[in-house]
Structure 1
Amino acid sequence: MSCLGEEPAPQGTQEASEQHSNSNKDELLKDPFASKSSQILFDAIDQLQSCDASQDIDIPQLVIVGGQSAGKSSLLQSLTSIPFPVSHGLCTRFATRIISRRTPPKSRDEVVITIVKPDFELDHIFNYANENPYDKYVYRAETLDSHTFAELMEEVPFPRCRLVSFSSNVMAANDTKVSEKYMGIDSGISPSNKNFATEVLKIELSGPQRAHFSILDIPGHVSNAFRVHKWEMEGIESMIVEYMKKPQNIVICVSDASNDLENQPIFKLAEEHVESTRLIPVFTKCDKATSQEDVVGIATGEDQHFRPMKHGWFVVRNRVGDEGASFDLDEAEATLFGTAPWDRVQNRRRGSKKLRDYLGGLLCAKIREEFPDMQETVKSLLGEQLALREVLGEPRADGNAQLRYLMKIVDGYTADVEQALKTPWNFSRKEMQLRSIVSNRNRNFDRDMMTKGHTFEFEQPRLLYRQDTPAIDQTGLPPTPDGSPQPKSKRNGSKRKSTQNRAAMDNGPLTSAELRAEIQKQIHSFQSSQLPGLLNPDILPVLYRQQTTNWITIARDHLLGVSRDIQTAAERLLVEQLGYDSTQPDSDAYDNLLPILEDMGCKAEKKALDRLEEYYRDELTFPFFTTNPEFTRRLEENRVIRFKNYTYEHLQDVWNKVIQQPDNGALFDASLDAMYARIHPSAAQHTEEEAHDILKAYYELSLRTFIEHVNMRIVEGMLVSLQGPLKGLSTEYLMSLSEAEIEELAREDETKQVQREQCLARIARLTEANKIAENALRETRPRAVEAVA
C-alpha cells in the first residue's frame, strides 16, 4: 500500500538534529497552548463545540481512527490521562470527544460527562430512531477511575462511589448508565437490535495540572460483520470516511504493529480521503510487534514499498490491563525505544509523550490558521438564517398571530401594486411593470382598431387640382408612405360581390368599391317604401352595424390580454412578497392566496367583458345622434370636396367650347347641362354619396369614442377595481373574513413549523458562535504600541 506524504528527515542525522531542536520546524512546544492567545483560541474552539456550532461549521479537532483492537483505547489513555478500560472492547459503540483544560492554580479537578449530537447529520448512514433522552444525561465528579468508567460504559449499577453535585440535574448514583438507557444500544443480530449510536459521549476534564487538549475517538473500523448487522458495519465505515473528509480535522490513523499494515484497511481509507498534511500515522502495540524490523522500516522510510508520510510515523507502547497504577509508561517506552531496532526511529517520533506534544502543536497551528475563516463562515451562515427567518415569518399559533401574518403580506403586496401602477420602471422584472405593459397594449389596441376595426375601407376624397394635397385623414392615424391615411386593401379594385364574411380581420378590410356596392344594395332594399332620391335614415344603422362588426372581437381580445397581464403581475408580485425566489419560499401562503387572486381576476375579467358587451350593444341600438360639431364639419368638408372635383372636371371643357363657338347658344346650353348634371348628380348617386359620407363621419367619431371608452373606462377599471386581483387583496378584504377563513388562509403545515424551529435553533447556535468568535479575535488581536519619545 502506498501512503501520501513527503520524505522525512534522514535517519542518520537523528541525534544531531535533536541537539538543534530550536531550529527544526518539526520540533513543537511541549505545551503549545501555554501562551495566552493560544489558550483563548483553544477555549473559543471548546465553546464553539459546546454550543453545537460544529453542526454548522467545520471546527479544527484531532480525530483518532483505527481498526477494532488496534490499541486506540490504550493510546487515548496515554494522551488524555483518562483511564479508558483496556482489553474489554468498551467505548467502541459510539464516538467519544475528550476535552482537557487547564484551570487556575489551586482550582479543583472536575470531570463532566454528557452526550451531545454529532458534528454532522448521520441519519443517512444509520436509520436509527432518535427516541433516546441522551441530552438529559450529566455525570459530574472530581476524578474518574478505570473501574468506575468501565462500569459506566458497561451498563451496570454504580457501586458506592463519590459524586460531587455541582448542579441540580446531576444523575443519581444508580442512574448513570449510558449505552442502553441514554443511547438506546441493544447489542445483538436480530433486526431490532441497535449495536451503535450516532451521538457523541463528551468527556470534559479540567484542573490546574491538565493540559489544553481536544480529541475525538471514532468507533473502530469493522472488518467483518460478526455479531453486528452488515449495514451497521458499512455505516461505521461511512461515518469514518465522513470524519476523514472534513478539511479541518487532523486525523490520527492508528495501526496495530503486531499486524501486517497491508491487512489494515483503515490506511487505505485514509490514503483515499485524507490529505497528507492532515494525516498523522501511529504504530501502537510496538512491544507486541512480531516483526520489529518491518515496522521500523516503514516508520523510518527505509522500506521502499511504503511511501513515507509528510508528518512521519510515531511509535508508541500500549498500557496493558494487568499493569498496575504504579506503572510508568514514559519509562517503559524509553526502555523499549532505546534499544535496536527502535533506536533508528527519530527520537522525537518515539513515545506517547512526544506524540501528545506534537499533536498539541499541530492543533494549535490549525486553530490559528482556520479561526478567521471560521468567523467569516459563521457570519455568512447567520445572515442566511436570519434572511430565512424573515421569510418563514412569525409562528401562527392563534387568530391574532394569523391575522398579523396575513396583514404583513397584504401590506407589502399593496405597496408593490402601487409601484407597479405608478412607478413600474422601479421593478427589474418586466412582468411586474404592469402600467407600462398595459399602456403598450392600449396603443396596440388603438392601432388595431384603426387598421382592422372597419369592415369596409371608406373613400378618401382628394382635390383633383391640387396634387400635393393628401387625402383627408379624419382618423387620427399618421399617413402611410403613399399618403393614404389607412392601409390599402390587398383586394382594392376588386369587382367581387360584397360578402360580409370575407371581411376577415386577417385579410384586411374590404375595399371602398365593395362598400359602395353594399350601400347600393341597402338603398335598393329600403327604397321600396319611399320616393326615389330620398335617403332612408334606417339604412345608416344597418351599414354602421356591418362596419363595426370587428370592434367586439378586437376589444375582447384586448381585454383578455390585459386580464392575463394583470394576473401574471399579481402572481409575480405575490411571489416577490413571499420570497419565493429564495431558497425557502413561503409556499403555504402562496398556495393559499393565489387561488384568491385568480378568482378575483376571473371576476374582474367577466365584469370587463360584460361592460364591453353592454357598451357595444348600446352603440348599435341607440339612435344615431350626436351634438359634436365635428360631425357636421367633416360631413360638409366631404361635400365641398366632391363639388369642387366635379366642377374642376367640366369647367375647363365648358369654357373652351364657349370660346370656340361664342355664338352657338345650343352648344353652350348643352355644356352647362352636362356640367349641372355632374355637379348635381342623379338622385340615386346623391343618395349613395350622402349615405357614405354620413356613415364615414359618424363612424370616425364613434370609433375614437369607443377606443377611449375601452381604454379609459373598462381597462382602467380592471386595474383599479377594488374587487380585482390588484386592489382586491387588501386590508379591508382581510377584515371582512371570518376567523375560520383567516385560519384557513394562514395555516401552515407541520413541515414549515419544524423548519422554523430548526431555523431558530440554528440562529441561536450561530449567534452564540459569532459572539464567541468575535470575543476570541478581539482578545487575540495585536494591540498598537505607542512610540516612546
Structure 2
Amino acid sequence: MTVSQNAVSVLNPVLLEKIDKLRDWNVGHHVPLPQLVVVGDQSSGKSSLLESLSGIPFPKDQNLCTRYATQITSKRESEDGVQISITPGPHASDEHKDQLKGFHRHLSSGSEFRKQFTDILKKANEKMGLRTDLATDIGAVFSEDVLKIEISGPREDYLTIIDVPGIFRNVVQGTTKDDMTLVRGMVERYIKDDRTIILAVLPSNVDIATQEILTLAEDYDKIGERTLGVLTKPDLVLEPSAQAAVRNLVLGNKRPLSLGYFLVRNRGADGGVEELSELDREFQKQQWVDLPRDRVGIAALKDQLKSLLVDITKREFPKLIKDINEQSKECKKELDSLGPPRQHEREQRIFLSQIAGNFQKRVREALDAHYNADPVFKQDEFRLITHVVNITDVFSADFRETAHSRHFEDLRLLKPNVTDEKVDGSPPDCNCKENSAGLMIDHLRVLLEKAKVDDIAPGEYSELGDIIIPLEEISKPGDNFTTWMNDVYLQSRGLDLGTFEPHLLSMAFTEQSRKWGDMTKTYMRRIIIALHRFIAAALRSVCLEDQARSHLWSAILEELLKRYKVAMAQASLLIEVEQRKQPYTLNPQFNQAWSKATGYRITELLRPTAKKESKQYGVVQYMVNLDDIAKAAEGKRNVEKVQEDIHDILQAYYSLATERFIDNVFHLAVDHCLLHGPDSPLQVFNQDWVISLEPEQLERIVGETKSAKGRRSALMKKLNELSHALKILKS
C-alpha cells in the first residue's frame, strides 16, 4: 500500500489540503473525515511517537500526559506559523463553549511554539477545567474537548494525526472507573469509522497478547484492513525469543494485519536530544538488520502514513461528497420542519398566516373531494366529505328502517297487487334496485367500521366528552301498531261521532318518533368525530413543528367545541320542532298518500264482489258493480273507522316528516353548521383569525422557544459548514 515519495508530494496538495480545510470548517463533527488516530495503552510510547512524527516535544510529566484528544495538523505554506485552539467536546455546555472560545494562540515559528508548548498545555488544561495536580480532586482528570495544533511552513508536509488518551485497566492515583469508561468511549468514538486508519502503538518489550488496544481495534476493524501496528521501545527487547517474536510481527508471520507492523525507536524520557538518524542506528544491530528497511524507523513510518492518508482520501472522496450532500438535505429538512424564523411579531404573523392559508386549502380540497391535489389525501382521515356522505347515507337508510317505534300496516299486503299478478300465477319479479341499494348500505357500514367513527380514543374523548353522547343500541320497530293504537284511542277519546281530537294524532306521532333524538345524536356524533379528526390531521400536515401545533390546537379548541355544540343544538331544535308541534304540512303528497291508503282499503272491501272479466296483455282484469262501491264501508263500526283514519293519516304524515327531517338535519345542522356555513368549525382557523390575534397571543402560539432558537442556530451553522465543505470538495 506504499506509493512513491514523488506521488505523495503531488497528491497531498490536491486532496489532503481539502481534507484539512474541511476540518477547519468543523465538518469532521458532521461526517467522518479520512484521518490517522494514534491509540494505545498508557505507557505504550504514544507521546514519544507523536514527538518523533510531528517534532512537538510532548511532556512526560504525569500531570500533563494525554488527557484529551489532540489533533496535530501540518501544512505546507510559504510562512511559518502555529495556530492553537480548543474545540468543545460533543457534550459541552453553552457556558463551557463560551469559555473555550477565549483560548487561542498564534505563534510565528515552530521553534517559538516548542519552547512555549509546556506552558500552553497548562493553560489549555485550565481552560478545559482539568486538574493541575492529579493528587488533588479539584477539576476533572480527562476531557472530551479537542486541542487543535496547526503547524504550517515551507518544509512541512500535509499530515493530520489525532492522539487520544491511553487506555488503562486499573484505577491509579486521581482516576476513577468513570474515567476508565470515558477514555475507552473516546477511543471507540475515534476508531469506529471506516475512514480512520488506526495506529495501534504497542511496546515491543510487552507480550502483544496483553495489549487491549489490538482487541479493541478488532471490534471495529474485523479483518484488520485499516489497523497499522507500531512497535516501540525495541532497545528494551533483550531476550532472543522476544526479539524473534517482534521480528515475526514485522515480517507478517504472527497475528498479521493488512497494513502490517512498523518497528520504531523514539526518544525516551531521558533520551536527551538525539537525532532520529541516531535513533535509527538501533536497527543496524544484528537482531533487526534482516528486517525490511521500509518497515523500520520513523522516516519509513512517516512516508507510509502519508501514503495511507492519500489512499484512503482517494478511496473515500466520492462517498464523502455523497455523505455531505445527504447531511445537507437532512439539515434543510429539519430547518423546514422548524418553519421560518419567528422571533418578532411580523415574522410570527406571517408564519401563522401561511399555515392558516395552507389549512384552508386543505379544507377546500377535502370538501370538494379533490383528493389528487396532495398525497396526504391517501390517508383515510383526510377524506372528509366522503366520510360525511357515507355516514349520512347510512343514517338515512337506518332512519327509514328503524326510526319508527312500530311498523305501520302495509296496506299493499291487504290484497295481491293485481297490476303485477301474472296469468301463470308466478310471483312478481324481485326489486333489483332495492337489493342493490341494500348491498351498498351494507358496504358503507363496513367502511364506517374500518374508519372507526364509533371508536373514541382517550384523547378525543377528553376533548369531546361534553358534546358527543354515549352510543346506545337502537331497538327494532315493534309489530303491534293496531293494538297500541286501539289502546291509545280508547284511553283518550271523548264524545265524538266517528272523528278524533287533533291531540290524539300529536300523541301518536310523538310516540312513533321517540327514537329520532337518539339516532340523530348518534349521526351528529359520527359527523363531529370525522370532522374533528380531519381538522387535527390537516393541522399536522401544515404545521410540522410539534410545539407550535400544540399551542395552536389549544388556542382554537375552545371555539371548535363551541361550534360543535351549536350544530348539536341545531339538531336538537329540529327534533324538538318535529316532535312537539301539531302535525301539519302543506305538501300535496300528504293528501296523495292518504288518498292512496283510502283506495287500498276500499279495494279490499270490494274484492269479495269483484269478478275476473277478461285477460288483456297477459294481466288479469277485475270488474266491480258501482252500487257495491257505495255500500263498501257500511259494515264498519265507528271505532274501527276512526282507528283506520288515524293510522292512515299518521302513516302519510310520518312518511313526509321523515324525509323532511332527514333533509333538514343534513342541510341545517351538518352542512350549514359544520361544513359550509360561515360559522363552521372549519373556519375557526383562517387568516382573518390570525390577523385578529394580539402580539402576546402570537408569541404564545408560535413564538420560538429558547431550545428551538438554539436548534435553528445550530442547524444554520451546520448547513453553512456543509455548504462550504461542498465548495471545497468540488473546487
The alignment's TM-score, normalised by the length of structure 1, stands at 0.79
Task: Kindly state the Cα deviation for residue 271 of structure 1 after the two structures are TM-superposed.
Answer: 3.2
Tell me which of 145, 150, 158 is aligned to 1:212: 158
Partner of 1:425, secondary structure, is coil
The one-letter amino acid paired with 1:57 is V
- 1:228–1:371: structure 2 CA closer, same or farther, 3 Å change rule? farther
Task: Kindly state the Cα deviation for residue 709 of structure 1 after the two structures are TM-superposed.
Answer: 0.6
Task: Kindly state the Cα deviation for residue 728 of structure 1 after the two structures are TM-superposed.
Answer: 0.7
The one-letter amino acid paired with 1:29 is S
1:23 — aligned with what?
A: none
Partner of 1:626, secondary structure, is coil
The one-letter amino acid paired with 2:218 is E
Task: Kindly state the Cα deviation for residue 302 of structure 1 after the two structures are TM-superposed.
Answer: 9.0
1:523 — aligned with what?
A: 489
Identity over aligned pairs, percent = 25
Higher mean C-alpha deviation, range 562-571 or range 590-599: 590-599
Counterparts of 1:446 and 1:599, CA distance in 2: 31
**Aligned 1:550-561 pairs, distance under 5 A:** 550-561=515-526
Counterparts of 1:222 and 1:247, CA distance in 2: 25
1:454 — aligned with what?
A: 404
Larger radius of gyration: 1
Higher mean C-alpha deviation, range 205-214 or range 697-706: 205-214
2:476 — aligned with what?
A: 508
Higher mean C-alpha deviation, range 108-117 or range 187-196: 187-196
- 1:145–1:742: structure 2 CA closer, same or farther, 3 Å change rule? closer
**Aligned 1:280-359 pairs, distance under 5 A:** 280-291=228-239, 293-301=241-249, 306-320=254-268, 327-333=274-280, 335-359=281-305
Higher mean C-alpha deviation, range 77-86 or range 250-259: 77-86
2:172 — aligned with what?
A: 226
Higher mean C-alpha deviation, range 368-377 or range 221-230: 221-230
1:771 and 2:730 aligned: no
1:499 — aligned with what?
A: none
- Over residues 374-393 of structure 1, what are the superposed CA-to-partner deviations in whole Å (9 max), with x where a residue is unaligned? 11111111111111111112
8 A contact 1:96–1:200 mirrored in 2 = yes
- 1:189–1:576: structure 2 CA closer, same or farther, 3 Å change rule? farther
The one-letter amino acid paired with 2:9 is A
1:200 — aligned with what?
A: 146
1:152 — aligned with what?
A: 119
- Over residues 147-176 of structure 1, what are the superposed CA-to-partner deviations in whole Å (9 max), with x where a residue is unaligned? 524433453xxxxxxxxxxxxxxxxxxxxx
The one-letter amino acid paired with 1:372 is P
Tell me which of 656, 664, 671 is aligned to 1:701: 656
1:20 — aligned with what?
A: none
8 A contact 2:250–2:261 mirrored in 1 = no
Tell me which of 531, 541, 551 is aligned to 1:576: 541
- 1:191–1:468: structure 2 CA closer, same or farther, 3 Å change rule? farther
8 A contact 1:92–1:218 mirrored in 2 = yes
1:265 and 2:233 aligned: no
1:442 and 2:392 aligned: yes
- 1:753–1:409: structure 2 CA closer, same or farther, 3 Å change rule? same
The one-letter amino acid paired with 2:183 is I
Counterparts of 1:343 and 1:534, CA distance in 2: 134
Task: Kindly state the Cα deviation for residue 524 of structure 1 after the two structures are TM-superposed.
Answer: 2.6
Counterparts of 1:536 and 1:88, CA distance in 2: 113
The one-letter amino acid paired with 1:346 is P
1:43 and 2:17 aligned: yes
Tell me which of 127, 132, 145 is aligned to 2:99: 132
Higher mean C-alpha deviation, range 550-559 or range 641-650: 641-650
1:736 and 2:702 aligned: no
**Aligned 1:349-388 pairs, distance under 5 A:** 349-388=295-334
Partner of 2:8, secondary structure, is coil
2:70 — aligned with what?
A: 96
Counterparts of 1:465 and 1:323, CA distance in 2: 124
Aligned length: 672
Give the gaps of 5 or more residues in structure 2: 422-430, 443-471, 613-625
**Aligned 1:674-693 pairs, distance under 5 A:** 676-678=631-633, 681-693=636-648
8 A contact 1:255–1:264 mirrored in 2 = yes
8 A contact 2:345–2:699 mirrored in 1 = yes
Task: Kindly state the Cα deviation for residue 68 of structure 1 after the two structures are TM-superposed.
Answer: 2.4
Counterparts of 2:250 and 2:309, CA distance in 1: 28
- 1:605–1:189: structure 2 CA closer, same or farther, 3 Å change rule? farther
Tell me which of 66, 83, 89 is aligned to 1:112: 83
The one-letter amino acid paired with 1:272 is D
8 A contact 2:16–2:310 mirrored in 1 = yes
1:615 — aligned with what?
A: 574
Give the gaps of 5 or more residues in structure 1: 1-25, 156-176, 471-475, 488-503, 580-585, 654-670, 776-789
8 A contact 1:567–1:598 mirrored in 2 = no
- 1:302–1:600: structure 2 CA closer, same or farther, 3 Å change rule? closer
Task: Kindly state the Cα deviation for residue 548 of structure 1 after the two structures are TM-superposed.
Answer: 1.0
- 1:698–1:268: structure 2 CA closer, same or farther, 3 Å change rule? same
1:714 — aligned with what?
A: 669
The alignment's TM-score, normalised by the length of structure 2, stands at 0.85
The one-letter amino acid paired with 2:500 is L
Counterparts of 1:142 and 1:203, CA distance in 2: 13
Task: Kindly state the Cα deviation for residue 284 of structure 1 after the two structures are TM-superposed.
Answer: 1.2
Counterparts of 1:612 and 1:152, CA distance in 2: 85
Task: Kindly state the Cα deviation for residue 467 of structure 1 after the two structures are TM-superposed.
Answer: 4.9
Tell me which of 75, 78, 81 is aligned to 2:55: 81
The one-letter amino acid paired with 2:228 is I
2:8 — aligned with what?
A: 33
Partner of 1:549, secondary structure, is coil
2:193 — aligned with what?
A: 246
